[in-house]
Chains A and B, each alone.
Chain A
């Protein structure tokens, strides 16, 4: 379960579990999180939690709410965000990633049904081994059991090495092209086209269209993708070019 860590002047005051769908923060005693300080409005802000996501909302407070130093009215909280109300800081800590028991069941698509409680016993009786998340889908106690997948993070580009090609003949001889995009097409559409794909483990050339296949180091490639090595010479539609890696 996600939590907030309340601190002032670097001193941790307490940890607050976000165990309610809506938690209010303010000076008055009626709030779920009371901060008795004159800089805090009676009803200052609220944190709304829906399954694994939490949102901060400023309730039109007099002195406002900052998130990571920026004024915020409404904010989708990410792990490590720091909420500031006056001199107080609340650090948002998302639910800890549980060790993946069964990698195959990771991040499964599930159906969310408000009236699913009655369906729960049927699946709950199944003998289980590493299927907790699946059962959770048909249970109304989703929050506790769900494995939190890491947010979408594109993998780092193939080290710091960037591939490039230099044209060796024709009108554009000497021109250089860095292969920074995922895909770079070469050739003349309708005549002969090849594509160089940038992948985590290197660069690959594949034939796209045309009767002729690209030639690499004097040999025509087949329909399969071919990995490019430093200083390979490619020939497409009569144009020769050299592939090389830049440090």
Chain B
């Protein structure tokens, strides 16, 4: 078993209902030992949104924990040629989707519930990012700050098609419409990508309660100035969203890369890699 990633990653998890909403439909989860984080922003009437996002983080986290304890994510799946991390995340998201969808179908009070999802899995000096909907992953690397995920939303589609500029998008009335969600259909399409990780990087997973209320530039400043104290940075981000009106639930997960974390492989696989 590979040694814990908690020495390589500093993780802070924070969620807040905001100013206006009575309850919190966001759900957050992080496992510092296995190096993954999950954030979900639920939707649906009454408390169904909470149920959907709660199911998403709970189901997915326990499934991923079980899977990665049994088999490390950097191994290559022989059948598909993909990294085990990919196949595993896609499979487990599919299972989670079915669980939420079936609950929604069988219990009328949960009909139509769904949730966004963004998850980041760190292993072998890289991060695998999977997302559905408009919850985001940002990265701060030195001076460079930007969003890594591309929202599955009507607004993003309008930006992509050139109908509306990114500048104009801030004033759009259609901010809250997602084109993909977990648990609303029998099948789900997950977007998944890998990115190399550098020491000092700060990753931010957030719900739209943050990026709708706080401009990217302000988020960047906060991470840059308060990067030394991740706890404080998370508090500050939530505070800024609330100071700007706090119209939605706001959740953030901050992950700072403290040192390299190459996967520990057996001597035979090292030899194999050397021959390739």
In the complex, the answer to whether B225 meets A50 with C-beta atoms within 8 Å is: no
Q: Does A108 belong to the interface (CB within 8 Å)?
A: yes
Instruction: Specify which of A76, A111, A119, A208 is in contact with B226 (CB 8 Å cutoff).
Output: A208
Fill in one digit per residue for B45-71: 1 if any A CB lies within 8 Å of its CB, else 0.
110010000000000000000000000
In the complex, the answer to whether B243 meets A200 with C-beta atoms within 8 Å is: yes
Q: Does A149 belong to the interface (CB within 8 Å)?
A: yes
Instruction: Specify which of B46, B176, B228, B243 is in contact with A208 (CB 8 Å cutoff).
Output: B228
CA distance A94 to B174 in the complex (A): 13
Smallest distance from the beta carbon of A117 to chain B beta carbons, Å? 13
- The interface residues of chain A lying within 8 Å CB-to-CB of B179 are 111-112
In the complex, the answer to whether A152 meets B171 with C-beta atoms within 8 Å is: yes
- Residue ID in chain B nearest A115 by CB atoms: B185
In the complex, the answer to whether A209 meets B45 with C-beta atoms within 8 Å is: no
Instruction: Specify which of B46, B177, B215 is in contact with A131 (CB 8 Å cutoff).
Output: B46
- The interface residues of chain A lying within 8 Å CB-to-CB of B244 are 154-155
- Residue ID in chain A nearest B172 by CB atoms: A53
Which of A103, A108, A193 is packed against the most chain B CB atoms within 10 Å? A108
Interface size on A, residues (CB 8 A): 49
CA distance A104 to B247 in the complex (A): 9
- The interface residues of chain A lying within 8 Å CB-to-CB of B176 are 107-110, 149
Among listed B111-119, B122-130, B251-259, interface-contacting one: B111-119
- The interface residues of chain A lying within 8 Å CB-to-CB of B175 are 107, 149
Given contacts A109-B116, A109-B178, are A134 and B45 in contact (CB under 8 A)?
Answer: yes
Smallest distance from the beta carbon of B216 to chain A beta carbons, Å? 12
Q: Which of A104-147 contact B (CB under 8 A)?
A: 104, 106-113, 119, 122-123, 126, 131, 134-135, 137-138
Instruction: Specify which of A94, A103, A104, A123 is in contact with B112 (CB 8 Å cutoff).
Output: A123
CA distance A78 to B169 in the complex (A): 11
Q: How large is the interface on B (under 10, 10 to 19, 20 to 34, 35 or more residues)?
A: 35 or more
Instruction: Specify which of B163, B170, B213, B232 is in contact with A55 (CB 8 Å cutoff).
Output: B163
Instruction: Specify which of A122, A137, A183 is in contact with B221 (CB 8 Å cutoff).
Output: A183
Instruction: Specify which of A107, A112, A122 is in contact with B108 (CB 8 Å cutoff).
Output: A122
Instruction: Specify which of A122, A189, A206 is in contact with B228 (CB 8 Å cutoff).
Output: A189
In the complex, the answer to whether B111 meets A122 with C-beta atoms within 8 Å is: yes
Smallest distance from the beta carbon of B208 to chain A beta carbons, Å? 6
Task: Tell me if B's interface is mostly helix, strand, loop or mixed.
Answer: loop
Q: Does B239 belong to the interface (CB within 8 Å)?
A: yes
CA distance A134 to B228 in the complex (A): 41
Q: Does A175 belong to the interface (CB within 8 Å)?
A: no
- The interface residues of chain B lying within 8 Å CB-to-CB of A206 are 232
Q: Which of A191-215 contact B (CB under 8 A)?
A: 193, 195, 197, 199-200, 206-209
Q: A51-B154, A151-B171 are in contact. List 7 more A-B contacts (CB 8 A).
A: A52-B174, A112-B154, A112-B177, A112-B178, A126-B108, A185-B225, A195-B226
Q: Which A residues fall within an 8 A CB radius of B?
A: 50-53, 55, 74, 76, 78, 94-95, 103-104, 106-113, 119, 122-123, 126, 131, 134-135, 137-138, 148-149, 151-152, 154-155, 181-183, 185, 189, 193, 195, 197, 199-200, 206-209
Q: Which B residues fall within an 8 A CB radius of A?
A: 20-23, 41, 43-46, 49, 108-109, 111-112, 114, 116, 133-134, 154, 158, 163-165, 168, 170-181, 184-185, 208, 212-213, 215, 218, 221-222, 225-226, 228-229, 232, 236, 239-240, 243-245, 247-248
* A-B contact list, 21 entries, CB within 8 Å: A50-B158, A51-B174, A52-B173, A55-B163, A76-B171, A94-B173, A108-B43, A111-B179, A111-B184, A112-B177, A119-B111, A122-B108, A122-B111, A131-B45, A134-B45, A149-B173, A151-B171, A154-B215, A155-B244, A183-B236, A206-B232
